Structure 1
Amino acid sequence: MAPLTSGKTRPVRLADIAKAAGVSHGTASNVFARPEIVREEVRERVKAAAEAMGYGGPDPKGRLLRAGKVNAIGVATAEPLSYFFDDPFARVMMASISQACDATGAGISLVSAANNEQLAWNIQSALVDGFIVFCVDGGSRLVELARERKLPFVALDLDSDDDEAVAAIGVDNIAGAGLAARHLTELGHRRFAVLALPCADDGFGPTTQAQVELALYSGTRDRLRGYFAELARVDIDVSKVPIYETVNDEESVWAGLDHIFAGAETPTAILAMSDRIALHALDWLRQHDITVPGDVSIVGFDGVPEGAVSKPPLTTIVQPIAEMGRLAVKAILENDGTFSRQSLPVDLMVRASSGPSPA
């Protein structure tokens, strides 16, 4: 039997079911929301009317919106949706966000898109109480869109330090990068190369300190500043340190190492701005019979689980990723209308990918 409607186009409403069953609107509503308080005979009559008219029950969106809270958090990124599953940092962060939401009974809505128009629509239409914004790429646009929704939001790894009026959770990238560089200089290394995170959105390739200083993304700028401040402290001429901008994937990292090791003077130490970059670099070095740390030492940045089981295990700067996720969920669910910026400490995790300079 085809579903009936009370008109040519208008969908069946709860009021129609109540009328067909001969009960009040409140009683019909209780059949779906609080059936235990309705007599069985009335419940069966209302359900029979609903089935005959093709009515599946009240729209939960309407109930949630009337309550003013949907008990769900949107997690947004300008990256493709696969980013949440492919990137090691994102996976750990999402696990932490999920655990924090599970503890409170809140849901999660993943928000991403292939272009700005779709992203704007997805953020505007997401049924959530607020947003956690992954600012690894296109963060300024994400912040703008989240603001337009007029819902609480918090930015992770905000890629611009210009807007102090944005709630954000991150780490001290300069201090963390300094720890990485100091660890390697104390092991005697003096010939360095940097595999950098993106500076902008226009591809990958060799770059310079001056170009990185103009980078769109503050994380890239700050990590290079931390590296170079520490290298300059031990009188290394940082103008001669090769920098290769990657897009945090295998193709660009391998192209970077092809370029760096084609030079006349090869590095004994590589500073990688992410663990993902460092892990791709370990694969390249292994394929080219360059031993780690015998010939080259490498230090990553993030502290993802994959680094502990790589070959060799990766020395890295550990971000408190789980704590960042927990604090982000708390900032949305317990929002009181204020905002704050939190910078969490990082630690150096020394493993087998770093050792004394062979020089």
Structure 2
Amino acid sequence: MARQVGVSQAAVSYAYNRPEKVSAEQRERIFAVAEELGYAGPNPAGRALRTGKVGALGLVLTDSLSYAFHDPGAASLMRGISEVGELAQVALTLLPAPLATVPEAAADTSLALVDGFLIYALPDAHPMVNLVLKRGLPVVAIDGPQLPGHSFVGIDDHSAARSAAEHLLTLGHRDVGILASRLSADGRTGEVSAARISRAKDRVLKARVRGYLEPFGEALRAAPAVYEAGGFDYEKSRAAAEALLDARHVTAVLAATDVMALAVLDAARDRGIRVPEQLSVIGFDDIPAAAAADLTTIRQSQVAKGAHAARLLLEAVSAPAQAATVTLPTDLVVRGSTAPPPPN
């Protein structure tokens, strides 16, 4: 191209990548020759070989690709990541990490064409974590796991959950149930023992359940019942909500996510249980549907979480940087789904 136009290689590169560096006339001449030669522009693979950078970040998700688009929290997180990525002209590659063991050869292939990794809410000891670390590229974890020597972005899940439980105690609730999405990646559902909570592999869910339990353990002799859904989707959440409401007399439910809390509202309505007159419900995350349902919940910003993580990773890709830990704020948002318990 440069020989045909009679300019330097740099001028051709500037025409495509930094147009302010060349005159409009020169750009038009370069593009005209490119059209004659059938040249479509710089080859991404060639640029990667020359610069050592692919121009893409990998987001490792804890579940299937459909989860990334259907789960409100994951979708908001991706929005925050993409906003930063667009400013830096960086693409986002989604890498699902199924719960089953990841075949190393296949994973190595899928992880090759990125400059660094964002790991989102993977359980401790998930096989994909080791595969990512073996690449030797910059890594930022979001929500978990916490990896020595690598940056981390999250919230204080334990304290946030505790504030929700204390709100129910202050209202006078004593018969409370807790719903957890998935404490460990083994598909277990139903009532959860204290031993299973202590062995939980999901850092976020373990912290939230413990935060919910602590105030009641300190104020009451009997700890609340904990039920596990075995997954994050609405259908599993609805089944767990129904199991709890059918098996236990509770005046309040603390759900580990808003999706679970919305499932509780639906299950209660189908059973003729009035919220909040007969049952108080608290969620976690403050997804858009929470306000529409008048749901009391813990507010966190998944968009801000994604943006912070993306900035940290882009900085680490540009130049070696010390690992940082970012803890974002949360708030208890009290709405119409909580009230004092009904009189005995």
With the shorter chain as reference, the TM-score category is 0.7 to 0.9
Aligned CA distance change for structure 1 residues 179 and 122 (closer, same or farther; 3 Å): farther
- Residue pair 1:143, 1:155 contacting (<8 A) in 2 also: no
Q: Specify which of 291, 294, 306 is matched with residue 289 of structure 2.
A: 306
CA deviations over 1:15-39 (Å, ceiling 9, x no partner): 9xx7xx6989949966984796769
Specify the SS of the correspondent of 1:351.
coil
CA distance in 2, matches of 1:101, 1:25: 31
Specify the SS of the correspondent of 2:174.
coil
Aligned-partner residue type, residue 198 of structure 2: E
Stretches of structure 1 that go unaligned for 5 or more consecutive residues are: 1-13
- Residue pair 2:58, 2:111 contacting (<8 A) in 1 also: no
Q: Aligned pair count? A: 330
Aligned-partner residue type, residue 319 of structure 1: Q
* TM-score (structure 1 length as normaliser): 0.81
CA distance in 2, matches of 1:59, 1:209: 56
- Aligned residue for 1:155? 141
Q: 1:142: Cα distance to partner?
A: 3.5
- Aligned residue for 2:93? 109
- Aligned residue for 1:237? 222
Larger radius of gyration: 1
CA distance in 2, matches of 1:217, 1:182: 23
- Aligned residue for 2:340? 356
CA distance in 2, matches of 1:22, 1:357: 81
Identity of aligned residues (%): 32
Q: 1:146: Cα distance to partner?
A: 2.2
Q: 1:71: Cα distance to partner?
A: 3.6
- Aligned residue for 1:146? 132
CA deviations over 1:148-182 (Å, ceiling 9, x no partner): 222211111104x5x43332111111111110100
CA distance in 1, matches of 2:209, 2:10: 66
- Aligned residue for 1:74? 58
Q: 1:63: Cα distance to partner?
A: 1.2
CA deviations over 1:297-349 (Å, ceiling 9, x no partner): 11111121211112xx1111112323211210110111233212222232101
CA distance in 2, matches of 1:92, 1:236: 39
Aligned-partner residue type, residue 208 of structure 2: R
State yes or no: 1:271 paired with 2:257: no
- Residue pair 2:124, 2:203 contacting (<8 A) in 1 also: no
CA distance in 2, matches of 1:286, 1:317: 22
Q: 1:262: Cα distance to partner?
A: 2.8
CA distance in 2, matches of 1:41, 1:267: 76
- Aligned residue for 1:194? 178
Q: CA RMSD in A?
A: 3.0
Aligned-partner residue type, residue 274 of structure 2: T
Aligned-partner residue type, residue 322 of structure 1: V
Aligned-partner residue type, residue 314 of structure 1: L
CA distance in 2, matches of 1:221, 1:193: 16
Q: 1:217: Cα distance to partner?
A: 1.3
CA distance in 1, matches of 2:127, 2:50: 30
- Residue pair 1:78, 1:119 contacting (<8 A) in 2 also: no
Q: Specify which of 217, 228, 247 is matched with residue 213 of structure 2.
A: 228
Aligned CA distance change for structure 1 residues 102 and 275 (closer, same or farther; 3 Å): same
Aligned CA distance change for structure 1 residues 165 and 269 (closer, same or farther; 3 Å): same
Specify the SS of the correspondent of 2:79.
helix
- Aligned residue for 1:8? none
Specify the SS of the correspondent of 1:261.
helix
State yes or no: 1:318 paired with 2:299: yes
- Residue pair 2:200, 2:206 contacting (<8 A) in 1 also: yes
- Residue pair 2:141, 2:150 contacting (<8 A) in 1 also: yes
Aligned CA distance change for structure 1 residues 95 and 57 (closer, same or farther; 3 Å): closer
Specify the SS of the correspondent of 1:75.
strand
Stretches of structure 2 that go unaligned for 5 or more consecutive residues are: none
